[in-house]
Chain A
């Protein structure tokens, strides 16, 4: 029988964050929790000691552990950080099946014979992982993946638990049904009084299938120690990434872009040999101070060498700041690495017999403009949700996914009725509104105007400084947005005003300061 070994690194997401060093200096042993949708996704052992649990809300977690470091959960980071670990295991035991980031399974037969026993093989693996900086690793060996994983969870740090052949069912019998990780089924089983896997396993398979369906039947097989799910060992990824190092390090973004071209060509050629194209790429830039900045770039079609060179250049050039374009990296660049994040067969993207489609031409033209003006200079607009007209518009750089900043779906009470203004000033322009006797118009705390607007004008527009009489107006429509956030809070009132010349405007007053938000021209 093919025995299975499971390698388990507890709290992998937290470890991944520590390892990648994404910006934050985490003191050793500090309680850390990663949050997804406002709930704890993973936490460190010290946080767990203080009572932080998976699925807790941020507020509850912070109440239990006030010094908790809260970070956003990034599933991609987990996978990326685990990749070198899997590669290290593969060096010792080929045929690794990654189960999830932090956990993977290997067939133990071969390494077991080679190292003179299953436990010896496990010790060698543990030693190798500790060399890679993973000090908390636990291993379990059993007949199949499920039992081996449960065994790994019972092991102590850097040690292994071996379930002898044929004894998986007995080993599993005492475990609580919660380990099946099927919340709905587990809750039902507990209410039926089946609290251990042994009790569940004692049911007749046919009864389980009729009562709980195929997924319940699969869970039942796992509980009985019968794990006949196919073992899907991954094939080691072919070497598609390309790296270039600069000696001496280069300071100028243009020089880096120039030097990276051959590497980019080799990268594209390497993919082409396997009939692949790359639609998404990670660009890692190393500086001579040892910092690494990485960023993922998407392409609406696929990357050719020129596109890759552009992405490297854009990554090095930060946003244009004061005094021209400031470099995004603080030190000279010692190396650039291109790692494919997403590849597709070239046949999915083949050009038609009569050349490429219209969208490819459009994309080429837009990229050409980007290469003149910079990446952020060519944008697409997306309509999203929000109350003000500027909030409802999101500009995304060309080629990025068209996702609005705020979702359209939630109701936005207090939003403006149709029609939408054709001209939206972002940021708003200063304006002046006065009453009949020339006094400034204000809005009181209770949402009342102190005087009816009689004249208005916008400064810095074509009607410079001159006030024109108001023909009609409506308002104030109070807005009190994001009051919980001191930096983003907006407390203002909106007015629609039509001048005697027939022009219609959307004005906003906040703390007695008027501005033009939009014009209905």
Chain B
């Protein structure tokens, strides 16, 4: 029987995510990720792009294309969309062979259950990312990553399309005060410089008042509409 892994090294992370958690995420620990599947996938992309196997348990709505864009190797990803009540067993089995497991646990996780899984994780140096709707659904996590701010560019009142997104990730954990990192998280992950202030797309106060029901929007995305002002008439 293998004893608990003594040396707790860190999970490889995408360069952009290196600063999200001071020192990086530990192997063999359970973290909570609140409210953003994209963030969990970006974290999993670190080891996955370096050749590790990943598992996603209980998340039937995973967007394969987004995961691939972040760097998750889908051919090295095991998906168990609906494990039902067997999820602890499935997680324990897959912990044996994977480096990262993203799991959406049912509403309440019993402390005993969580401890048993964490013991298993520690034994195999696997990191668990529990997707939870609210903070505190996973008992005593090693840390919590939360998207506290999110703003999009590219979309207007009836025109454009979603372009870039800036988020603020707040990491809370045993390392002391909450640690905030600003990131671009859209078709990829990039660190956001402090100067990258993002003009909010159209917050509620800047939004033009919605006119009466006869306001019509073009049937095509804005860029496909010919720009009429390019037509100049020679005087």
Contact = CB atoms under 8 A, between A and B. Distances in A.
A380 B75 contact: yes
| Interchain residue pairs A-B with the least CB separation, the first 9 | A447-B219, A422-B38, A420-B65, A419-B187, A502-B150, A381-B64, A472-B155, A419-B186, A436-B210
A423 B217 contact: no
Nearest to A478: B219
B79 A381 contact: yes
Contacts of A416: 161
Nearest to B40: A422
Given A381-B74, A393-B63, A498-B201, 4 more contacts: A383-B74, A423-B61, A474-B222, A475-B158
Interface of B: 35-38, 41, 53, 60-69, 74-75, 77-84, 86, 89-90, 93-94, 96-98, 133, 147, 149-152, 155-162, 165, 186-187, 201-204, 207, 210-213, 215-217, 219-222
Interface of A: 358, 361-362, 364-366, 368-369, 372-373, 377-383, 389, 392-393, 395, 398, 402, 416-426, 435-437, 439, 446-452, 454, 462, 469, 471-478, 496, 498, 500, 502-504, 518, 520-521
B205 to A, nearest CB: 10
Contacts of A395: 79, 81
A520 B162 contact: yes
Contacts of B97: 358, 361-362, 364-365
Given A454-B210, A500-B204, A381 B187 contact: no
A448 B78 contact: no
B201 A476 contact: no
B152 A472 contact: yes
Contacts of A369: 78, 80, 83, 90, 93-94
A452 B210 contact: yes
Nearest to A367: B93
B62 A381 contact: yes
B72 to A, nearest CB: 9
B69 A476 contact: no
A20 to B, nearest CB: 34
A379 B79 contact: yes
A422 B41 contact: yes
Contacts of A520: 38, 152, 162, 165
Contacts of A379: 79-81
Contacts of B202: 471-472, 498
Given A393-B63, A420-B65, A448-B219, A474 B161 contact: yes
A518 B79 contact: no
29 contacts: A361-B96, A362-B53, A362-B98, A365-B93, A369-B80, A372-B86, A381-B62, A392-B64, A398-B78, A417-B161, A421-B63, A421-B66, A422-B67, A436-B211, A439-B213, A447-B219, A451-B210, A451-B215, A462-B133, A471-B207, A472-B201, A472-B207, A473-B155, A474-B221, A476-B219, A478-B219, A498-B162, A504-B165, A518-B63
